[in-house]
Chains A and B, each alone.
Chain A
Amino acid sequence: ETGVTQTPRHLVMGMTNKKSLKCEQHLGHNAMYWYKQSAKKPLELMFVYNFKEQTENNSVPSRFSPECPNSSHLFLHLHTLQPEDSALYLCASSHLRDRYPRAFFGQGTRLTVV
Chain B
Amino acid sequence: GEDVEQSLFLSVREGDSSVINCTYTDSSSTYLYWYKQEPGAGLQLLTYIFSNMDMKQDQRLTVLLNKKDKHLSLRIADTQTGDSAIYFCAEDGGATNKLIFGTGTLLAVQP
> Are both chains from one complex?
no
Interfacial residues, chain A to chain B (CB-CB below 8 A): none
